[in-house]
Amino acid sequence: MTEASRTVMNRRRSAMRMDIAASAARLFLERGFDETSVEDIARGADISVRTFYRYCDAKEDTLTPIIASGIRDFVSYLADRPEDEPVEIAVHAAFVESLRQDRYAHIVSTRDLFVLLTSVPGMRARWMVAALDLTDELRPVIGARAGHDPQSLEARLLSHTLIGALTVALEHWVTCVSDEGAPRVEAAELAASALSVVRFARR
């Protein structure tokens, strides 16, 4: 297989995963996770159940592509920040840009996505795994900004700590609501609070 053919195939697979995610998100929000079957999701994506299982092991996996793409977007925004910008400012700005862009809003809003992830234990577990898997992509970017060798223990710890801090901020954002269901605090403000306790030390 040529590189061009492989690229086309990967794009098609990514597009199919997003079609499945769109169907699943819509049904989860309309009916609830437990009331939505794999057959329902497959029907909504206009595919067979057999095709569904080629892309997902279970319905808990359906939103993982959005999670992974969102984290990659954050890493990309962070890499694009000015090199001389303080680390904590660059990280917060990249996080805010990720929320502002809301690149997958046509599938599910960021807030609705994290409402689903925090309310369904199986999906939350997939979120945690995806986030941890992608720390290797964050590590060289955050490590270089903090003055650490990307392969160092410090860079590894920092990438995991950063993902953890932003995860807690997002979880708090969707669970800390008023009686009317509106968020009590904006996600960007919570992220700033979470990042304030992370030590972005330079050597």
Tell me whether residue 148 is exposed, middle or buried, using C-beta atoms within 10 angstroms of its C-beta: 0 to 12, 13 to 18, 19 or more. buried
Q: How large is the average pLDDT for residues 175-182?
A: 68
Output the domain CATH number for residue 119. 1.10.357.10
Write the CA distances from 54 to 8, 47, 49, 51, 130, integer angstroms.
18, 11, 9, 5, 19
Asked if 168 and 95 sit in the same domain, the reply is yes
Q: How far apart are CA 143 and CA 8, in angstroms?
A: 33
Asked if 116 and 186 sit in the same domain, the reply is yes
Q: How confident is the model at residue 4 (pLDDT cuts 50, 70, 90)?
A: low
Structural domains in the chain (count): 2
Say if 202 falls within a structural domain.
no
Residue type (1 letter), 66? I
The C-alpha R_g of the chain, in whole angstroms, comes to: 18
Asked if 67 and 164 sit in the same domain, the reply is yes
Asked if 39 and 115 sit in the same domain, the reply is no
Q: What is the DSSP letter of 106?
A: T
Q: Which domain holds residue 43?
A: 3-61
Q: For tokens 């917060």, what's the residue?
A: 92
Whole-structure pTM value: 0.83
Asked if 30 and 77 sit in the same domain, the reply is no
Last residue of a domain, one of 11, 26, 61: 61
pLDDT by residue (tens digit) across 114-171? 899 999 999 999 989 988 888 999 999 999 998 899 999 999 999 999 999 998 888 8
Say if 123 falls within a structural domain.
yes
Asked if 83 and 152 sit in the same domain, the reply is yes
Output the domain CATH number for residue 17. 1.10.10.60
Secondary structure string (H, E, C) spanning 35-70: CCCHHHHHHHCCCCHHHHHHHCCCHHHCCHHHHHHH
Write the CA distances from 24 to 34, 92, 193, integer angstroms.
12, 30, 33
Q: How far apart are CA 63 and CA 81, in angstroms?
A: 28
- The yes-or-no verdict on residue 202 having pLDDT over 70 is no
Q: How large is the average pLDDT for residues 93-101?
A: 89
- The yes-or-no verdict on residue 7 having pLDDT over 90 is no
Q: What is the mean pLDDT of the chain?
A: 89
Structure tokens of 103?
């690149």
User: Measured at the alpha carbon of residue 95, what is the angle toward residues 132 and 112, in degrees to the nearest 5?
Assistant: 80
